[in-house]
Amino acid sequence: MPNNTIAEWSDLLKSLLDRARSAKDHDDRVKISIELVDYQIASMPPDPNNAEEVAAIQQFDRIAREASEKVLIDDISERAQAIAGRASDLAAATKAFQARTQKNEQAAEALKLTPVVRAIKSATDLIASVKDIRTNLGSATETQELRDRLARLVKSVQDIRSALERGEGDPAG
């Protein structure tokens, strides 16, 4: 059972549950029950440090354990109903894991953007500060060169901020 992802473990369990549902005789049911136990033994989270993957595998194992017990029920309608319930549990567990994964990926993406947002805010603050300095310099001739340099600085910082806002990788060139 060389599965590496939660999706692969989910697919394998779904396949086992499908086989359990269609098992005809007692020998087939015993065989699939053993395979479901083997599944529980073999299933491992791809990343044992990822709490969500560990929880998903634990839930899959619970479903496999219950199905392993239910597949041995002699009454066919009761057995089919019990296995169908496990298949439904698996679908819900898989869907919940996928939703958590998507939420985590979105959170990670937002964290990646945090430095860019800070840089844009810092650039905006710097532009406002430099404009204040230029305004307070007055209009004396000797300060004109400084005002011109500050104007160029504001323009450069505005260009960097605009590049960051557009999502350009290296605004400095």
Q: Count the domains in the chain.
A: 2
pTM (whole model) above 0.85: no
Report yes or no on 138 lying in a domain: yes
Contact status, residue 58 vs residue 50, Cβ threshold 8 Å? no
- Residue-wise pLDDT tens digits, 115-157: 767 777 777 777 777 777 766 666 666 667 777 777 777 787 7
**For 142, which DSSP code?**
G
- Rounded-to-integer distance, Cα 119 and Cα 137, Å: 27
Final residue in a domain of this structure, among 106, 128, 152? 106
The neighbour count for residue 49, using CB atoms within 10 Å, is 7
**Is 28 found in the same domain as 62?**
yes
Asked if residue 1 is part of any domain, the answer here is: no
Confidence of residue 15 (pLDDT cuts 50, 70, 90): very high
- Determine which of 48-62, 92-106, 122-136 has the lowest per-residue pLDDT on average: 122-136
pLDDT tens digits, 16-34: 988 988 888 888 988 998 9
Do 99 and 148 lie in a common domain?
A: no
Q: How far is residue 171's CA from residue 150's CA, in Å, rounded to a whole number?
A: 20
Q: Decide: helix, strand or coil at residue 173.
A: coil
Query: Residue 1: what pLDDT?
Result: 56
- Find tokens 């634990």 and name the residue: 58
Q: How confident is the model at residue 164 (pLDDT cuts 50, 70, 90)?
A: confident
Domain shared by 117 and 141, yes or no: yes
